[in-house]
Structure 1
Amino acid sequence: MLFYVIAIIVFVLDQLSKYLVRIYIDINENISLWGISLTHIENSGMAGGLFQGYARLFGVAAVMFVIVVLYIRRNEEMKGALIDSSFGFLVGGAIGNGIDRLLFGQVTDFIPRSGGILNLADHAIEIGVLLLIIYVVVSWWKDKH
C-alpha cells in the first residue's frame, strides 16, 4: 500500500505543480515564490537538457520502466517499507514526466539548481534512487552478517 500512496502523491503533486507553472509563469520567466526561485522552461529531452527532441521516446521508456517495476514488485522477493518507498518515488516520478513527454512532447521544469532546472518528478526520482541504494547496501550488509 505504501508504494501506491507514495506513487500517487508524487504524481499528483508533480502534475499540479507543472500545471500551475504553465498557467502562471511565462517560459523563461524567473520569479520568487516564498523566497524560492522558480524558472519556467520546457524540456524536450532528458534531465539536463540532453538529447533534445526525443521526449516521446523517453516517454515510452518511462512506461517500460513502470512495467518492469510492477513486475519486480509482483514476482521478486524485494519486500519492505524501504523498497516500497523507493519504487513509489521512482514510479510516481516516471509517470509524472512520462505523461508530459507523451502528451506534450516536452517536460515542464521550474526548480533551478546547480546542473540545471528540474521539476518535482525529477526530485522524486532522485529520492527513489537514493532509497534504492540504501536498500541494496542494507540488504548486502544483512546477508554478510
Structure 2
Amino acid sequence: MLFYIIAILVIMTDQFTKFLIRTYIDINESFTLWGIPLTHIENSGMAGGLFQGYARLFGIVAVLFVIGVFYFRRTEEMNGALIDSSLGFLVGGAIGNGIDRLLFGQVTDFIVRSGGVLNLADHAIEIGVLLIIIYVIISWFKKGR
C-alpha cells in the first residue's frame, strides 16, 4: 500500500506544480519562491536536454519501466517499506514525466539547480535511486552477518 500512496502523491504533486507553471509562468521566465530559484523551460529530450525531440520515445520507455516495476513487485523477491518507498518514488516520477512526454511531447521543468533545471518528478526519481542504494547497502550488511 505504501508503494501506491507514494506513487500517487508524487504523480499528483508533480502534475499540479507543472500545471501551475505552464498556466502562470511564461517560458524562460525566472523568479524565486521561498529562496528557490525557478525558471520555466520545456524539454523535449531527456535529462540535461540531451536527445531533443525524442520525448514521446522516452514516454514509451517510462511506460515500459513502470510495467517492469509492477512485474518485479509481483515476484516479491525484495519487500519491505524501504523498497516499496523507493519503487513508489521511481514509478511516480516516471509516470509524472511520462504523462508530459506522451501528452505534450515535452516535459515542464522549473526547479533550478547546479546540474540544470528539473521538476518534482525528477527529484522523486533521485529520491527513489537513493533509497534503492540504501536498501542494497542494508541488505549487504545483513547478509554479511
TM-score tier (shorter): over 0.9
| RMSD of Structure 2 on Structure 1 (CA) | 0.7
Partner of 1:144: 144
Which residue of structure 1 lines up, in the alignment, with residue 69 of structure 2? Answer: 69
Deviation string, structure 1 residues 49-80 (Cα, Å, up to 9, x no partner): 01111100100000000000001111131100
- For 1:114 and 1:35, the matched residues in 2 are separated by 15
Q: Are 2:119 and 1:119 aligned?
A: yes
Aligned equivalents of 1:35, 1:133: Cα separation in 2:
30
What SS does structure 2 have at the residue aligned with 1:110? strand
The runs of 5 or more residues in structure 2 that have no matched partner are none
Q: Which residue of 1 aligns with 2:9?
A: 9
Percent identity between the aligned chains? 78
- TM-score, reference length from structure 2: 0.98
Equivalent residue number for residue 41 of structure 2: 41
1: distance between equivalents of 2:24 and 2:32? 12
Partner of 2:93: 93
Q: Which amino acid aligns with 1:52?
A: Q
Unaligned runs of 5+ in 1: none
Aligned-partner Cα distance in 2 for 1:80–1:115:
32
